[in-house]
Structure 1
Amino acid sequence: MTPPNLNTFAPRTRTETRAQKRNPSLPPGSSVVVVGAGAFGGWSALYLLRKGFRVTLVDAWGAGNVRSSSGDETRVIRSTYGANETYFNLNVRALELWKENQARFDKKLFFNTGVLWMCYTPETPLVDDSIAFAQQHRMDYEYLSTEELNRRYPEINTQDLHHGYLDPYGGYLKAREAVQAVQTAFVEEGGEFIQAHVAPLADVHGDVNSLSLSNGETLHADAFIFACGSWLGDLFPQLLREQVNCTKQEVYYFGPPPQHAAAFERLPVWVDVDGKDFYYGIPGNAHRGFKIGVDIRGEIFDPTNGDHTLTPVALQRARQFLAHRFPLLKDAPLGESRVCPYENSTDGNFIFDLHPETQNLFLLGGGSGHGFKHGPALGEWVAQTLAGEKELFEMFALNKRD
């Protein structure tokens, strides 16, 4: 499958309906195995546990491992999704849960720096179409003229910008630290964590009763959730070959000049809305440097055996953008680089659905580069669905995907 040349700042909505809904409901105390301790799997396991299920969480390398999509330092959290109200509302709930859980964990994970959207034209639907949702939630954006941008952020070259919008409610999250905190809380609250590899399933026809692990154990449960991030397509190749792929996405950490280091760390999270590359960045990062990434899809990537090394052409393009938008960083040294494997769905929407051949095996994934921030809200949603409080949601369905 060729990776789609798209961005996932605003996945499109889908209105098609399922031919026949299958809405699961497990009785309290049922056993659930969750495979994958990343942003989706870890939070789902925790909220299933809090719903009264008996939960086992399995991961081959552990939460926040170097191969995972959650293994980097930070991730952006923003509600702006164009006209897609579903994700806006989901992120509003996620913000509430991030704040609630970081208090429970006694660990700061959300940094409210704001998110600056840098717009090239008078009309920017990606941002403009979210304004009404922001107003409904009393989370208004602030319009910034180029004059105001220059006054507040002299480090930014605004010559080709028309204006900016500041979302004062967004910011960034600690990524690796967060998924590890979730795993720790899961165990402390009574869940069982097993570090082991799950043996691939044979062709699935009918309900699944057990899973075999690389440590020789066999896990039996009433339901199974595969939330394997970048490995989901590999585990179910026949079903997901045309629906999921993994691409190599790179982020870079540059060292700002010493006389400007403090100013760059005070910048908000930013997104350059050029309609093509969608460069974005997270300044500060606990003094790790000026982080820059690009949302345009990279090459197909093997999350298990692929080298997490930079691509010279991608780095060169990032440097060119950096020199243009942040001229003081033109000659900034590269401190380090990371690879973030994107587990892409065809339209950027998440996947949460039953395997079509079963009534007890769920697929949870399709993070598509924008899933991390939604982790707690999606985990809560999964738990409510298995408890019979919600129905499977059409936008996250497997069937009828383009």
Structure 2
Amino acid sequence: ADLVYTRMALESLADWQWLSGRSGLPVLHPTGVLMFFSRQEPFATQSIALHRQLGLPVDMLDRPELERRYPQVRWDSIEFGLYEPRFGALMARRAVQTLVAEFAAAGGEYQTAAIAPPAGDRRIESLRTLAGDVLHAEHFVFACGPWLPSLLPDVLGTKIFPTRQEVFFFATPPGDDRFREQKLPGWADFNGGDIYYGFPDLEGRGFKIAHDTHGPRFDPDTGDRQVTAAGLANIGDYLDRRFPALAGQPLVETRVCQYANSSNGDLLIDRHPVFANAVLVGAGSGHGFKHGPSVGRYAADLVRGELRAIEPRFSLASKGGIQDRQVH
């Protein structure tokens, strides 16, 4: 329920649809998204108002309608839901791979390398990779996700907080199509503020589910990528309660990823405070990827000096040193 990010998601949608058309396999699965709530709360009221303001369709579903449409969900304690038909699930790895291929086909040069922290007076003349190669450019954009605070510790070491996030995929019952995208949208259970979210079984990978609470601090280079027994038990308890047909189903895949959090969940897109030809892009905070095309346009305009309006919430100056998430 945030005008800035809802507008960015809407602006990005056409680009994701275009990229999906170029990729061969879908980048965007148009599953729709269902948010559900145990009581009336400001987030839901604001979401409805924002959708109307932006001309986005949204259906408000009461408990009987939820039970009719989605009988595979146990709706105990839920009062109503909001269904957004225009959005869906992004296949992030495929999206990045497709974008790299498009970039290279357009004449861009793509390299995979680790770099040393930048050095210079007021400008960066070049970057050095850890392999000893030197990269020259007129402008540099640092969009390094959870590696940003370690690459630029003096600037971002206390401004971006990488956290450990566990994701689970469960097999669906044989012959039961109720958990496929034709029968179940992407979903988020706001659960009194303790959010769980997931997606239906896409491409036979399994039913995806995660607990949207910040995990412990995480080093993306050395952190353990095995999920914890406590995390699995927590998800199992939730499945038993909300998706009873999935209780006891085999766990088929897990992931440990990371959120690169700002203090309050706002993105970072701003100039480096010292290097005039460097731009910082990061602090996705668990919700940044879907805004990628809009973020890219904003950053490109910033690099070229063509940005028409600065968004103060994206500024480095707005980033605090204590985690207190306010944006989801």
TM-score range, shorter chain: over 0.9
Return the alpha-carbon distance in structure 2 between the equivalents of residues 392 and 208 of structure 1.
23
Amino acid at match of 1:225: V
Q: How does 1:209-288 map to 2 (within 5 A)?
A: 209-260=125-176, 262-265=177-180, 266-288=183-205
Return the alpha-carbon distance in structure 1 between the equivalents of residues 61 and 260 of structure 2.
34
> CA shift at 1:105, angstroms?
4.3
The match for 1:354 among 271, 275, 285 is: 271
Partner of 1:328: 245
Return the alpha-carbon distance in structure 2 between the equivalents of residues 98 and 337 of structure 1.
26
Q: Secondary structure at the match of 2:97?
A: helix
Return the alpha-carbon distance in structure 1 between the equivalents of residues 282 and 310 of structure 2.
14
Return the alpha-carbon distance in structure 2 between the equivalents of residues 270 and 172 of structure 1.
10
* Pair 1:117 & 2:35 matched: yes
Q: Secondary structure at the match of 2:227?
A: coil
Return the alpha-carbon distance in structure 2 between the equivalents of residues 159 and 294 of structure 1.
19
For the Cα contact (< 8 Å) 1:105–1:185, is it kept in 2?
Answer: no
> CA shift at 1:259, angstroms?
3.7
Q: How does 1:299-378 map to 2 (within 5 A)?
A: 299-378=216-295
Partner of 2:326: none
Structure number with higher relative contact order (C-alpha < 8 Å, ≥ 6 residues apart)? 1
Residues 34-54 of structure 1 deviation map (CA, whole Å, 9 limit, x = unaligned): xxxxxxxxxxxxxxxxxxxxx
Partner of 1:16: none
Q: How does 1:144-159 map to 2 (within 5 A)?
A: 144-159=61-76
Q: Which sections of structure 1, spanning at least 5 residues, go unmatched?
A: 1-81
> CA shift at 1:110, angstroms?
1.0
The answer to which of 191-200 and 224-233 deviates more is 191-200
For the Cα contact (< 8 Å) 1:319–1:330, is it kept in 2?
Answer: yes
For the Cα contact (< 8 Å) 1:353–1:392, is it kept in 2?
Answer: no
The answer to which of 362-371 and 376-385 deviates more is 376-385
Q: Secondary structure at the match of 1:256?
A: coil
Return the alpha-carbon distance in structure 1 between the equivalents of residues 50 and 25 of structure 2.
30
For the Cα contact (< 8 Å) 2:116–2:151, is it kept in 1?
Answer: no
Amino acid at match of 1:91: A
For the Cα contact (< 8 Å) 1:349–1:366, is it kept in 2?
Answer: yes
The match for 2:6 among 73, 81, 88 is: 88
The match for 2:124 among 191, 201, 208 is: 208
Return the alpha-carbon distance in structure 2 between the equivalents of residues 239 and 223 of structure 1.
18
Number of aligned positions between the proteins: 317
The match for 2:18 among 82, 100, 108 is: 100
For the Cα contact (< 8 Å) 2:279–2:303, is it kept in 1?
Answer: no
Residues 100-139 of structure 1 deviation map (CA, whole Å, 9 limit, x = unaligned): 2333445421111111111100x23222202222123322
Return the alpha-carbon distance in structure 2 between the equivalents of residues 282 and 110 of structure 1.
12
* Pair 1:295 & 2:212 matched: yes
Give TM-score, length-normalised by structure 1.
Answer: 0.76
> CA shift at 1:329, angstroms?
1.2
Partner of 1:51: none
> CA shift at 1:295, angstroms?
1.1
Return the alpha-carbon distance in structure 2 between the equivalents of residues 164 and 206 of structure 1.
52
Amino acid at match of 1:143: M
Q: Secondary structure at the match of 2:293?
A: helix
Q: CA RMSD in A?
A: 1.5
Residues 338-391 of structure 1 deviation map (CA, whole Å, 9 limit, x = unaligned): 012111111101001111112111111000110110111111221122223214
Q: Secondary structure at the match of 1:247?
A: strand
* Pair 1:186 & 2:103 matched: yes
The answer to which of 193-202 and 342-351 deviates more is 193-202
Partner of 1:61: none
Identity of aligned residues (%): 38
Amino acid at match of 1:255: A
Return the alpha-carbon distance in structure 2 between the equivalents of residues 138 and 128 of structure 1.
16
| Structure 1 moving runs of 4+ over 4 Å | 104-107
